[in-house]
C-alpha cells in the first residue's frame, strides 16, 4: 500500500539580514530523497490559497515552502491587513525578497530528504520575483505565472518599489517556465512577446505557454478569474518542469493602478474604535472578499498603530463610479456652503 502522509506546518527560518521570518512548509513523509520548491506568494499576501499551493507540491512529491514576505511589517496580521500595510510601505524591496528566498532555499537543502535541487514558483507579483530569483540565486528552475514588470515600463507614481528586469535577462542562471493569459494587461501579450524575444537573443532556456480566454490570476480557484482549462494545463506544465529541475535536467504584480495620498485631518473607525488616519491608498486589484475578478479598493491606514489600524473597502466599478459622483456632488456643495 502506498502512503501519502504529509507534514504541513508553520516554522521560522532565517531570511534577509538574518531576520527570523515566518514560513509555511509541507513535505512528504515517505523517507525518500527529493527536490524542493519555494512558492512566492502574490501581492494579496500569505493566504490560504498559497498554502494550498505549497501542500499541492508536497502531494507531487516535493519539499515545499512559502515565506511570509510581510513578516516584518505585520507579524500575526490577517493576510489582507498585512498586504495593505506592505502596499502602503511600497511593497517588498527586491534585495530583501532575494534574501528571504535564499533563506528558504537554504532551509530546503538542509533537509535530510533533499537532493540539493530547488526551484521557485511565483504568481502575480511573485511571478516577477521568481524571475528575479533566477537572476540572483543558485537554483535549478523558476516558474513565472503572469508576473508584471519583468519587462515594460512601471507607470509614473506607481507606489511599489519595482524596476523592470529586461536589462538583466542576459544574467539568467536557470531555465524559466512562463504561463500567461492572453487577456491579461499586466503583463500584456506584447510584453510577453518582448520578454520571449530577449530570452531568445540571449540564448536562454525557457518555455512559454499562453492561454486564450484567460487573464490575470487564472490559477486562483476561488476568484472569478479562475479558468479551469488554463489552470489544469498550467499545473501539468509546472509538474513536468519541476520534475526536470529536480532531476537536474538542463531543460525550468497584480496591482494595475494605485494612488496614495497622505491624510492629515481625518479619522476612521476600525475594530478597536476610532483612530486618526495617516494614509489612503486607492488601487485596482483582486479583492479579498467581494465576488468580482477585480475591484476598486480603498485602504485607510495609520501605519504608526500597526496593521489593525485599517479601514478597507472593495467596490465594483459601478459602485465606485456611483461613490465618486456622490463625493463630487457633496464636495461641491460643501465648498459653496
pLDDT digits (tens, 9 = 90+) for 109-166: 999 999 999 999 999 999 999 999 999 999 999 999 999 999 999 888 777 889 999 9
Question: What average pLDDT does the segment 89-103 reach?
Answer: 96
Range with lowest mean pLDDT among 54-58, 158-162, 237-241, 327-331:
158-162
Q: How confident is the model at residue 321 (pLDDT cuts 50, 70, 90)?
A: very high
Q: How confident is the model at residue 253 (pLDDT cuts 50, 70, 90)?
A: very low
Cell of 262: 497622505
Cell of 265: 485631518
More confident residue, 222 or 63: 63
* Per-residue pLDDT at 168 exceeds 80: yes
CB hemisphere CA count around 27 (13 angstroms): 25
Cis bond upstream, residue 187 (ω within 30): yes
Q: Which domains does the chain have, with CATH numbers?
A: 6-247 (3.40.50.1820), 257-335 (no CATH)
User: Please, which residues have CB within 8 angstroms of residue 132's CB and are 6 or more apart in sequence?
Assistant: 94, 97, 98, 165
Task: List the beta bridge partners of residue 10.
Answer: 24
Write down the pLDDT at residue 157: 77
Range with lowest mean pLDDT among 25-39, 81-95, 297-311:
297-311
As a whole number, the mean pLDDT across the chain is: 92
Write down the pLDDT at residue 252: 36
Write down the pLDDT at residue 2: 54
Write the secondary structure of the chain as one string of H (helix), E (strand) and C (coil): CCCCCEEEEEEEEECHHHCEEEEEEEEECCCCCEEEEEEECCCCCCCHHHHHHHHHHHHCCCEEEEECCCCCCCCCCCHHHHHHHHHHCCCCCHHHHHHHHHHHHHHHHHCCCEEEEEEEEEECHHHHHHHHHHHHCCCCEEEEECCCCCCCCCCCCCCCCCCCCHHHHHHCCCCEEEEEECCCCCCCHHHHHHHHHHHHHCCCCEEEEEECCCCCCCCCCCCCCCCHHHHHHHHHHHHHHHHHHHHCCCCCCCCCEEEEEECCCCEEEECCEEEECCEEEEEEECCCCCCCCCEEEEEEECHHHCCCCEEEEEECHHHHHHHHHHHHHHHHHHHCC
pLDDT digits (tens, 9 = 90+) for 171-186: 999 999 999 999 999 9
Query: How open is the CA angle 128-132-133, to the nearest 5 degrees?
Result: 120
Task: List the beta bridge partners of residue 152.
Answer: none
pTM of the model: 0.84
Question: What average pLDDT does the segment 244-254 reach?
Answer: 57
Write down the pLDDT at residue 305: 87
Write down the pLDDT at residue 249: 38
pLDDT digits (tens, 9 = 90+) for 209-223: 999 999 999 999 989
Determine the Cα–Cα distance for residues 175 and 138; give it in Å rounded to an integer.
11
* Per-residue pLDDT at 288 exceeds 80: no
Write down the pLDDT at residue 32: 84
* Per-residue pLDDT at 257 exceeds 70: no
The CB density around residue 103, as the number of other CB atoms within 10 Å, is 23
Question: What average pLDDT does the segment 266-288 reach?
Answer: 88
Q: How confident is the model at residue 256 (pLDDT cuts 50, 70, 90)?
A: low
Amino acid at each position: 500500500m502506498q502512503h501519502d502522509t504529509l507534514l504541513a506546518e508553520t516554522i521560522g527560518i532565517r531570511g534577509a539580514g538574518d531576520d527570523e521570518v515566518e514560513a509555511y512548509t509541507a513535505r512528504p513523509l515517505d523517507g525518500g530523497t527529493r527536490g524542493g520548491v519555494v512558492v512566492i506568494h502574490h501581492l494579496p499576501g500569505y493566504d490560504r490559497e498559497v498554502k494550498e499551493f505549497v501542500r499541492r507540491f508536497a502531494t507531487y512529491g516535493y519539499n515545499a515552502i512559502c515565506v511570509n514576505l510581510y513578516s516584518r511589517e505585520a507579524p500575526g496580521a490577517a493576510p489582507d491587513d498585512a498586504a495593505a500595510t506592505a502596499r502602503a510601505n511600497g511593497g517588498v524591496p527586491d534585495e530583501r525578497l532575494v534574501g528571504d528566498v535564499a533563506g528558504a532555499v537554504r532551509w530546503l537543502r538542509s533537509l535530510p530528504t533533499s537532493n540539493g535541487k530547488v526551484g521557485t514558483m511565483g504568481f502575480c507579483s511573485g511571478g516577477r520575483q521568481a524571475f528575479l530569483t533566477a537572476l540572483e540565486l543558485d537554483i535549478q528552475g523558476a516558474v513565472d505565472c503572469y508576473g508584471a514588470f519583468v519587462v515594460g515600463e512601471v507607470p509614473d507614481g506607481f507606489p511599489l518599489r519595482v524596476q523592470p528586469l529586461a536589462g538583466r535577462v542576459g544574467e539568467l542562471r536557470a531555465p524559466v517556465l512562463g504561463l500567461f493569459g492572453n487577456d491579461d494587461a499586466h503583463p500584456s501579450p506584447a510584453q510577453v512577446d518582448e520578454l520571449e524575444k530577449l530570452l531568445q537573443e540571449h540564448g536562454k532556456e525557457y518555455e512559454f505557454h499562453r492561454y486564450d480566454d484567460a487573464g490575470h490570476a487564472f490559477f486562483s480557484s476561488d476568484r472569478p478569474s479562475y479558468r479551469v482549462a488554463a489552470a489544469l494545463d498550467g499545473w501539468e506544465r509546472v509538474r513536468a518542469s519541476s520534475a526536470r529541475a529536480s532531476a537536474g535536467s538542463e531543460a525550468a504584480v497584480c496591482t494595475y493602478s494605485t494612488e496614495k495620498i497622505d491624510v492629515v485631518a481625518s479619522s476612521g473607525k476600525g475594530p478597536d474604535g476610532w483612530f486618526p488616519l495617516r494614509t489612503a491608498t486607492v488601487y485596482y486589484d483582486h479583492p479579498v472578499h467581494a465576488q468580482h475578478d477585480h475591484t476598486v479598493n480603498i485602504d485607510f491606514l495609520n501605519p504608526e498603530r500597526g496593521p489593525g489600524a485599517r479601514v478597507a473597502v472593495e467596490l465594483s466599478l459601478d459602485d465606485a463610479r456611483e461613490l465618486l459622483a456622490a463625493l463630487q456632488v457633496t464636495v461641491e456643495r460643501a465648498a459653496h456652503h
